[in-house]
Structure 1
């Protein structure tokens, strides 16, 4: 997992819960908290930080992941201005994730293993897609979709259904409200 993910997570923790909480989760995990954006790190280290934050705050791991996903959406969009030009809705943006974003990530970082989005169906009002990733961060994906809908000022009902028991494949059903 790329270091930028860790850096943005720690930034969110510090801005939301304070420097003390951020330092506490790092200390609990013997983590120095130093990540380079292009560096590659074990995703399990991020999971440990999220678990520690959940214990300290009393907020569920799933909710913390969703909040994180929602908070990083704007940074993701800002890092790829072409998507602002080519997308005018949540559904348009999502259809470009696999075709554009993940392709660009792989070009920039040859060793990157982004999740896969498999578009099952799409209409003007509904979209069904599968999130596939061994990292099992479907709640981050949920938050990203929320952030996307908020950015495009759309009300979208988001339903998640695990396809694989381990969370490595989750079906999202999105419905414009």
Structure 2
């Protein structure tokens, strides 16, 4: 997993909870907390940090993951090679992530394995999105989807359905509820 995911997570923890909680999180996870945006790290270390933060704050890990996904969206938007998004809306941008952005990210960083999205049953106001990732971070994906809708000033209702026990495959039913 690229280091930007870690550095943004740390920044969000420091902003939302403060430096003291951030340090407690690192201590509890037995983690030195040394990450660079361009480095590559084991995703399990991020999960360990999330679990430690959950233990310290008594906030469920799924809620922390979802909040992180929502809050990290603007930073990812700035960091990724994204062509012309002015004409996009939530659904067209989500499609662009799979059809363009993930391909470009793989070109820039051949060692990464971004999640895979497949789409079905799409209308102007609904979309079925299947998330496939060995990292099993569906709640982060859900938060990113919320962050995307916020960016495009659209209201989105999301239903999340794990398709297997590990949650490496999750189905999201998205419904735009207003403009």
Residue pair 1:130, 1:171 contacting (<8 A) in 2 also: yes
- What's the CA shift string for 1:52-74, capped at 9, x where partnerless? 10011111100100100001111
- Look up the match of 2:65: 65
- What's the CA shift string for 1:154-176, capped at 9, x where partnerless? 11110000111110000000011
1:35 to partner: Cα distance: 1.1
- Look up the match of 1:136: 136
RMSD, matched Cα: 1.1
Which moves more between the two structures, 29-38 or 165-174? 29-38
- Count residues with an aligned counterpart: 176
TM-score when normalising by structure 1? 0.95
1:81 to partner: Cα distance: 4.8
1:84 to partner: Cα distance: 2.2
Runs (5+) with no aligned partner, structure 2: none
**Paired residues for 1:28-43 under 5 Å:** 28-43=28-43
1:121 to partner: Cα distance: 2.6
- Look up the match of 1:4: 4
Runs (5+) with no aligned partner, structure 1: none
- Look up the match of 1:14: 14
